[in-house]
């Protein structure tokens, strides 16, 4: 590592304001600070520095997403071989490698488009490259179905970075989670690709791996089957393990739970937000079940669709969620309850979790505002007394 550090120090003058490569200073700075913690300090004022910077936080979130991503790759291959009836003859490597080859282009497109816009924007504004897309770049591919075309994914990434992040001022200033915005863009702009039956299983063969499924093949998600009034033909064990059709990274509750443990152990995600999402979902699920509006047990909502994934990785986004401790409870409860309301009462949108988080992002500043005003009011009353 010392050799790499020495090499970066050697070429760094070329990227300074008077250097011959000064036009690419933002790119060099982003690459250097990704590899090493910056050693620059503030020249004026009093500052408190934490032991971890935002790039390291983003890196830990990416690590926490690895179990869900790796299992999602395997499940993509599993669903293809299962649908073709050739799963018994396929090895673990064949199943996983098929899913790997199917998912990898989506991750590459997400990072190339998103980071390309980030780099261009930073160069245009003469600012540092922001690190927020390190997480968004992997979140976006994990919350879309495997059948989502690459050009469509590229449009969604460009929309989320430009209109839901950069125009607000970049990382730390955005009102909506960029990954949620990308999902919402795809759902409303191309609903046939996001809600159809045939998009949840990879239907083509890749480099001789997998099977070419017929065009009339259908494989609805369990939530899609419930919305159509039919009972899911999937056992509870498969729902928990994740061997069901669905978005790439949202099917395995176990893989998501491993990611949650990593985030909570590192102190990156808020357990208050995470817990209150499940409490809100449970409360609303029990209410609907007791009134007969749905026959699905309330806890099934936690192991189907993107509920667990949204609660762990999306609702806990520190930028777009509530900042106050009390506000985190309210924010999470509203998201969990709203997700179940949408699932049960709107058959046209059987998922519900992403839309609930989108509205949660919208009202998070208002929740914080009222919490802060209430605290100020209480302190003023104590001062008078």
Question: 243, 81 in Cβ contact below 8 A?
Answer: no
Q: How confident is the model over 141-160, as pLDDT tens digits?
A: 999 999 899 999 999 999 99
Q: How confident is the model over 110-147, as pLDDT tens digits?
A: 999 998 898 888 777 777 777 778 899 999 999 999 98
Q: How confident is the model over 210-229, as pLDDT tens digits?
A: 888 876 676 778 887 777 76
- What is the helix (H) or strand (E) element at residue 291, kind and residue range? none
The pLDDT-based confidence of 274 (bands split at 50, 70, 90) is very high
Q: How confident is the model over 53-80, as pLDDT tens digits?
A: 677 788 899 999 999 999 999 999 999 9
Rg of the chain over all Cα atoms, to the nearest angstrom: 23
Predicted pLDDT at 144 = 92
Range in 21-25, 78-82, 230-234 the model is least confident about: 21-25
Average pLDDT, whole number, for the chain? 86
Instruction: Write the CB contacts of 129 (distance below 8 Å, at least 6 apart in sequence).
Output: 26, 27, 29, 30, 118, 119, 122
Structure tokens at 345: 């009462």
pLDDT above 60 for 254: yes
CB < 8 Å & 24+ apart, contacts of 153-157: 153/106, 153/109, 153/110, 153/186, 154/109, 154/113, 155/185, 155/189, 156/182, 156/183, 156/185, 156/186, 157/109, 157/110, 157/113, 157/114, 157/117, 157/182
Q: How confident is the model over 347-379, as pLDDT tens digits?
A: 777 788 999 999 999 999 999 999 999 999 989
The pLDDT-based confidence of 341 (bands split at 50, 70, 90) is very high
Question: 209, 96 in Cβ contact below 8 A?
Answer: no
The pLDDT-based confidence of 194 (bands split at 50, 70, 90) is confident
């Amino acid at each position: 590592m010392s050799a790499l550090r020495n090499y970066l120090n050697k070429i760094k003058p070329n990227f300074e304001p008077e250097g011959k490569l000064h036009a690419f200073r933002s790119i060099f700075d982003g690459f250097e600070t990704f590899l090493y913690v910056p050693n620059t300090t503030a020249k004026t004022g009093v500052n408190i520095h934490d032991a971890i910077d935002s790039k390291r936080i983003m890196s830990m979130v990416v690590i926490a997403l690895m179990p869900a991503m790796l299992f999602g790759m395997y499940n993509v291959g599993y669903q293809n071989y299962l649908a073709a009836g050739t799963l018994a003859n396929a090895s673990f490597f064949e199943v996983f490698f098929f899913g790997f080859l199917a998912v990898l282009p989506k991750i590459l497109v997400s990072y190339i488009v998103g980071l390309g816009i980030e780099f261009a924007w930073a160069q245009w504004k003469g600012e540092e490259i922001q690190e927020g897309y390190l997480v968004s770049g992997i979140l976006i591919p994990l919350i879309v179905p495997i059948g989502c075309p690459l050009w469509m994914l590229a449009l969604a990434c460009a929309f989320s970075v430009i209109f839901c992040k950069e125009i607000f001022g970049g990382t730390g200033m955005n009102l909506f989670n960029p990954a949620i915005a990308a999902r919402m863009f795809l759902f409303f702009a191309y609903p046939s690709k996001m809600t159809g039956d045939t998009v949840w299983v990879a239907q083509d063969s890749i480099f001789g791996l997998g099977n070419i499924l017929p065009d009339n093949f259908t494989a609805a998600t369990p939530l899609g089957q419930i919305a159509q009034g039919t009972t899911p033909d999937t056992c509870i064990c498969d729902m928990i393990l994740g061997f069901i059709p669905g978005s790439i990274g949202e099917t395995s509750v176990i893989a998501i739970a491993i990611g949650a443990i990593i985030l909570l152990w590192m102190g990156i995600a808020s357990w208050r937000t995470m817990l209150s999402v499940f409490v809100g979902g449970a409360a609303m699920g029990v209410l609907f079940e007791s009134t007969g509006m749905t026959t699905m047990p309330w806890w099934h909502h936690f192991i189907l669709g993107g509920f667990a994934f949204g609660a762990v990785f999306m609702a806990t986004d520190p930028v777009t969620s509530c900042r106050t401790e009390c506000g985190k409870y309210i924010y999470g409860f509203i998201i969990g309850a709203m997700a179940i309301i949408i699932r049960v009462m709107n058959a046209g949108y059987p998922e519900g979790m992403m839309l609930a988080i989108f509205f949660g992002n919208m009202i998070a500043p208002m929740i914080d505002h009222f919490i802060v005003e209430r605290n100020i009011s209480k302190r003023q009353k104590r001062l008078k007394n």
